[in-house]
Amino acid sequence: MPFMIAKSITIFKQSINDYHQFDNVDTVLQNPYPAGNLEALFYHKNWIDTVQWHLEDIIRNPNIDPVEALQIKRRIDASNQERTDMVEYLDSYFLNLYKDIKTEANTPLNTETPAWAFDRLSILQLKIYHIEQELIRTDVVETHLQKCKEKLDVLLQQEIDLSASIEQLLNDIAAGRKKMKVYKQMKMYNDPNLNPVLYGLKD
């Protein structure tokens, strides 16, 4: 596995383990890597994903207080925006990395950028972590453990396949076989000028 992909997985796992030392969505991010480098971006990216994962768990509590649920929903919306911003910032790293690669007018694009592929890899590490946690429970029946083991096998195969796909994508971009182009997500629901509910409040 290439260094960048293996390193990202290590950092994603580190972020997840660091979060679970406290297991609290209000834990303040303490990024152990120097600001601006790729390691710091990977760590911050996964921290956002990890906090949001647990916010999504909280809001699915059927007994949650409606006021708290609204607060959590707004935190999830803000987190989604932060996640998108971080992916786009990470893609700027790759754009700069490959800025001198020459391509032709007909060089194909990929369906997703490198950063969105790493986004999938980050979330995959969260799935693996939490399925592994299920396998150490002592309050469940054997069939539950068996089903979780089967899910883990699939997730680990996905990790192999996704890692290989990212490797191929990065190799293709570096060799000029694919070109990199980034379209901003342009999310509208948080924009007071684009969400009709929000700009309707101005009237």
pLDDT at 170 over 80: yes
Looking at residue 182, its pLDDT comes to: 81
> How confident is residue 78, by pLDDT bands cut at 50, 70 and 90?
very high
User: Which tokens in the block code for residue 54?
Assistant: 């647990």
Q: Is the pLDDT of residue 198 over 90?
A: no
Average pLDDT over the chain reads 92
* 190 pLDDT tier (thresholds 50, 70, 90): low
Give the CA count within 13 Å in the CB-facing half-sphere of 160. Answer: 5
